[in-house]
Every structure is written in C-alpha cells, then in structure tokens.
Chain A
Amino acid sequence: MNAPVKKNVVKEPSMLRQKEMIAQHFRDLARAKEQGKKVVYTFVPGNLTELMLSFDCLPLHPEINALQSGMRKLSGEYIAEAERAGHSEDVCTYVKCDIGMMLKGNIGPTGEKLPEPDLLLLSYTGCFTFMKWFELLRERYKCPTAMLHVPYQGEGHFTEEQVQYVVDQLRSEIIPKFEKVTGQAFDIDRLRDLLGNSARAEEDLVYVLESAKKRPSPIDAYFGGVYYIGPLFTAFRGTPAATEYYRMLREEVDARAAAGQGPITPDGLLDEERFRLVVEGPPNWTHFREFWKMFADEGAVVVASTYTKVGGTYDRGFRHNPERPLESLAEYCLGCYTNLNMPTRVDMLTNYVKDYEADGFLINSIKSCNSFSAGQLVMMRQVEKRTGKPGGFIETDLVDPRYFSASNVKNRLESFFQMLAQKGQEVPA
C-alpha cells in the first residue's frame, strides 16, 4: 500500500537558506587563493570548525565532496579512476571517490576547480581510514598536515586523561600549525564567541531532532536529517549564519508540528505516517531520492538515526562551551558517534526505539565503512532482544553505484514493512 504524498513539492525557506550558504562557501573557496584565504581540508567527525574559523580559514571536507559526487552521479567514474590508479576494489569508496575526483582535476559541485589545501587537518575521530586518506592526500599535495589523535571510547565513556591528551595536542600541535600556516596568532576570545554561537545552534538542532517524538513526526530524521545536520557538521558551525539557519528551521518544524503535518519528502508533504523507524548507518548517496522514496511511498518515517550523530552527539547533552574552549572541543571530538563503543551504540539505538516509540529499526549496512558496519549484525540482534521490535538489514554503499541494487533493497524493505504491518496488527498479549 502506498501512503498518499502530496505532489506539490515545497521548498522551505531554511532549505533555500542552506543552499545559499553552501553556494557562497564554494564561491569563497573558488576565490580563496586570490583573497589570501587559507584552505583547510578536514573531516566531518571531530571537526574543529570554530578553531579554523578563528584563524579565518576556509574548511573543505573531502567526504562532502564525495557524497556530492555521489548525488551528482559522478562517483562511479571517480571510483573507477582511482581503481585504475591502483587503489583496491575492497577499500572505502569515499576515499576512492575523492582521489578519483582529484585525479580528474578536482572540479567541485559548482563546476569550478577546488583550491588545493594549505593544511590537512587530520582529526582522527571514529575511523582509521581517515588517517590513510590524508596520508594519501599529503603525498599529492605535499602540504603541512596536522594530526589530532582522538582516542576511542573503548569503555563507553571518555576519561579525563583522554580529554587532556586531546587538549595537549591542540596546544602543542594543532594551534601552532594553524598559526604557522595563517601567520595569525591564536585568539581565544574569538574562539569563545564562535563556540557560543555553536551552542545556540546545537540547542536548536536537538530541538528539531527531538520533534520526531511527536505523532506524526514533523521531520524525517534520516533523509531529512542529513540536510538538517549540514551546517552544523560542516563549514558553518559557530557562524551567525548557522545559528540563524537553525532558528529558522526550528520555527518551520514547529509550524508543521502545530498543523499536525508530517515531514516534507522529495514528493511533497507526507500525509500519513504508517511506520516509525529508527535507522542505523549512513544513507546511500548515489540513489538518495530513489532510496528515500522507497520509505516515503510506504509511509515510513525515520524518527531517529545514528548517522545524524556522526558529527556530534548533541542529543546526548553535549554542547560546545565557551567557558572551556579547548576542553569542549576535545569532548566534542571524543563524543562523535563512531567513536563510541559498540555497547554504547546498542544502548543509543535501544533508547531511540523506546523514546521515539518506533515500530522497528533498520540497519543500512555500508560496504565501504568498517567503522560503521563491522558488528552491525550483532547490534541488530541485541537491539531486537532489548526492544522486542523487529530489525531489518539492508546492504548498500555510500557512493559506489555498483553496490546499490534498487530491486534488492526494495524487496527487502517491502518484506520489512510487511512484517511491521503484521506486528502492528497483533494484539499485545
């Protein structure tokens, strides 16, 4: 059965605002060299955006390049290029997509060449592949590299020693490298201001994500969620523009909730919420809309997802804190989702299923990503056992179109939704 979706496609003002922010950022990047701005390549998890901005640097995220290439259907070609250049078919396709793009001239989403980095800021949070990725980029760009090693939360919490270690690295390695590359002195007050802005935006993001506890949920916390996290997870955290964006988004979500409306999907407003789901794992980008539609057509709304926590677990209470600038950056890095151990990840999923009154949960297992994927089958059994809710399992990839089989995914999803429908009709014992 297909849930009716209104066909008048709505673009919310916040969406348009975000689009404009991104476009402006890429325009700035294109002019960075002529304007004497330093460009810093860095990763989403454990990003130090406020610190970069306090040095007037422009961040550029290779993962975002890769996902945009995926959405623009260019990733297949880039991956093939990287494999021709000797990269194994087995490894993370984000890396290969980025390298392929670089080999093909590094043309960004606006059609302009992306600037080369003045600094590679290797924040090593939640994934070992990051380290190899920037070793590979360093070979090509021969530019300074600053490594921030963020220890893993193996015991399910971070320790004072770990925070201290990260802060020590910020002081002795990261900040001096920024000072050297930019020629500017570190300005802690500027950093504090930016962190204050971040905290306000984070508050609003959490408000938006938690609005999914309502019935119907006014948001989709996975497919829609990836847009909502955009500014905070990338180049804009700490900027007034991001703070404004989140205020705007919050108002829109409030308005939808007040009107009893569901989320906006690519086909318009979703009228009927048939299933409430929790999703673990990143989405597929090469067929993003098609994938989303498979859910929306069935009236399946994602009410909570873990992917929207890769760049910060704000819903667990973390906020950047201007009073403790470096410590709070350290705690932020330590707390990103894939830096949490598996029992904590299972706890989070279990709590999401309960707190968001989900009918079931789904794992989208990504071939590329050992960091997310290794162990998800065990996670699924654990969450099923603890919540009593059915779990579904599908396999796709982030940006490698060879690993997205629409028919397979659709079949699996349909069986999963059928199971949920049957469960929904069961009278509780």
Chain B
Amino acid sequence: MTTTETTPIEAWTRRVEDLVLDLDLSAVRAWKDAQPGRKAIGFLPTYVPRELIHAAGMLPVGVLGAGEELEIVRGDACFQSYICHLPRSVMELGLSGRLDVLDGMLFPSTCDVIRNLSGLWQLEFPDKFVRYVDVPQNFDPEVGGKFYERLLRELLGELCALSGKSPEEVDLAASVRIYNTNRARVSELYALRAEEPWRVPASEAYLALRAGMQLPPEEHTALLEEYLELARAAERPMQDNARVVIAGAFCEQPPLPLIRTLERAGCDLVDDDFMLVSRWLGPDVPETGDPLKALVDAYLAFGGEASCKYVPDGEDKGARLIASVREKHAEGVIFAAPSFCDPALLDRPMLQEALDEAGIAYTSFKYSENTGQLQPIREQAGTFADTIKLWGDQ
C-alpha cells in the first residue's frame, strides 16, 4: 500500500477552495467578529473601486454568484428562464440570509441585469445600504473624469457615513498603496502563468484570485505571495499543452470543475478575464497627489477591454484581446460566455472578426455557473487544443 502525502501546494489548494466555496462567507464573518463594529460591503462584477470601501474601514466582498453549490428556488421566482444565472443565485444567497453578513451592496454598471438587480435589492432589502455605481463611458478627463470624481467623492462620503469613520481619518492613499501591491502580486501570478504554465494550473490561479473576493487585501496579498512561492518551488513536469486565452467570463463565473475540465482537455489558460476587478487599474495607480483623483485618472487611462466598457475607436475593438494573445504567446482564444449574457455574446462576433483578421484561432461555448454537463466542453476544448497544437504554426 502506498500513502500519498499532501504536498504544500495541495494543502494550500484545499484550504483556499474551502474558503472560496463557502457560501456562508465564514471568513467575512470571522473578520467582522474580530473587532466590534466592523462592516463589510458586497459588490458584483465587473468593477468597483474597492479602495474606497477599504479606506472607509470596511471589507469589500465580491459577490459572484453561487456556482453549482446552491439549489435555486427563490431566485428562480425572481427571473425568467431567459435571463442569465448570476442574478438568480445572488438573489437566492440574499433571500436565504447568506448575505446578511454584508452591510451593504454595490452594483456596478455592468449590464442591464445587474443594473435592475440593484433596484430589486432596494425593494427586497430596504434596510440595507444599496448603491448603483456608475462609471463613465466618456473618457475625457474634463467630462467623464469630472463626473466620475464627483461620483466617487459622494460614494466615499456615504461609505464613511455607514462605517462611522470621519472623513479626516480616511487614508485613501494608504488603501491605494495596499491595492497597488495586491494588483502587483496578481500581475506576478499572471506573468508566472504565462511563463511557466505548468507551474500554475488554471484552477489554482483561479482560486488564488477568487480568494481575494473575501479576504482583506493585505491578507490576500500574503496568500498570493504564499502561492507564488509554493508554485515556483513545486516540482511539476513541464507540459506541452495548448496555450489559450479565455474571453467572456468577466461576470457570471464558470464553475471550478469547468476550469479543471479545460486543464484536463490540454489547455493552459495563460490569460483570462475572470474577476477583472482584481486587475482593472493595473498596479500603477499613482501614490502621490490626491488619491481619489489618481483612481479616477487610472480608470480613464485603463486600456483593458471588457464588454461593459465602450470602445470609442472602432479600430481598437479586439485590440486588447489580440495584444494579450501576442504578449502571452497564446495559440488561441476560447470564448466562454454565460448563457443569455448579452454583453459578452454581442461582443463575441466583433472580437471573432478581429481574431480572424489577425489569424488567431478560436472556439466558443456557453456555460452557466451551475453547468454540470462538462463532457461536451471537454471534447470541444480537447479538439481545439489538439488542433492548435497540430496546425497552430500554419
């Protein structure tokens, strides 16, 4: 009989998986219990400036749905069958009391569904702090920038009123620094993935990122550092997998087994758009000057592309995706979008056209956060991986 010892990286994975799949948000409860009066604020994808919540002394918590973990009953009574899965699981989490630990919720301007969900939250949870957080689609500093700055100042004021922190006590610059460090570690993780993908399986990278949706940023940074160290040290055989970029999964999340399925199908995910909030501004938000202004400027300057963000110049459509493929030496793109996700699915033909012009291979499928039938996806991804490995250079 042989005993298999748990390697440090396996232990890390289990620990983080337990954290990430815990729909009762025990880690958030523990953080709140550690000090009386602490508050936590939930936010939905795609992007909110977490620095403001942090600076107001509260814990930002990403609410990304319930994956395949939860039976949806009340959530289904709120949404018709032709609406994506995310809002129904978020509603289920809310109505089942699992989100009671959150003292408020922020709903970013990602799509009409999340937008409407913000209002439903106001109706269903009238005692909670609920805000719809707009972002400018006009990127002129004098226009969209001014608007966004006023909006963020107001939001910061409201968050402080909720947390009880006086505006004089707020050290937003410190929060910017903390998140810059966090984003730098996230970038490091993505860089390692691209350089030595066999060291960083997609599922582990995903867990590492997802943990940041519940942990305070300082702790999350430490967890990323721990993982990076373990991954660099782990003895893992180099593999000749297909290097692919995932696009379209920026909101409703694919279930973890789906990500593992892609791995098993021979795909190294060298880039993706999961949890863009972790990477939105890049690590270089200026740490001098007015920190709020710095967040505004960084937002306006952010070159990333997401379906919820307007691309002012048609020539740039798809440019970010192509750049990612080139920079990460990817061999193809997997468009993985949630069913009924208008933003991702409407974007897809435009991005595909851009890839066609650039001669980049792609395949597409839809999923939902509770997709259980993974075999067809495995076959499709496997065929894609084989094809680009065989024919990629041609």
Contact = CB atoms under 8 A, between A and B. Distances in A.
Contacts of B352: 86
- Interface size classification for chain A: 35 or more
A213 B350 CA distance: 48
B359 to A, nearest CB: 18
B134 to A, nearest CB: 5
Contacts of B77: 377
B144 A149 contact: yes
Given A128-B343, A164-B147, A374-B116, A145 B122 contact: no
B134 A154 contact: yes
Nearest to A345: B119
Interface of A: 85-88, 90-92, 95, 124, 127-129, 131-133, 135-136, 138-139, 142, 145, 147, 149, 151-152, 154-155, 161-162, 164-165, 168-169, 172-173, 341-346, 365, 367, 370-371, 373-378, 382, 395
B87 interface: yes
B305 to A, nearest CB: 11
Contacts of B109: 152
B312 interface: yes
B113 A161 contact: no
A159 B163 CA distance: 24
Contacts of A365: 80
A87 B364 CA distance: 12
A87 to B, nearest CB: 6
A85 B317 CA distance: 18
Nearest to B150: A161
B343 A132 contact: yes
Nearest to A99: B349
Nearest to A377: B78
Most chain-A CB neighbours within 10 Å: which of B113, B137, B140, B317?
B137
Nearest to A395: B80
B111 interface: yes
A342 B312 contact: no
Most chain-A CB neighbours within 10 Å: which of B83, B115, B140, B345?
B115
A370 B116 contact: yes
A168 B139 CA distance: 12
A232 B137 CA distance: 27
B80 A129 contact: no
Contacts of A149: 136-138, 144, 310
B367 to A, nearest CB: 12
27 contacts: A88-B366, A90-B82, A90-B345, A128-B115, A132-B343, A132-B347, A135-B311, A139-B350, A145-B312, A147-B138, A149-B138, A151-B134, A154-B132, A164-B147, A168-B143, A169-B143, A172-B142, A173-B138, A173-B143, A343-B119, A370-B111, A370-B342, A371-B116, A374-B112, A375-B117, A378-B78, A378-B123
Contacts of B348: 86, 88
Most chain-A CB neighbours within 10 Å: which of B136, B314, B317?
B314
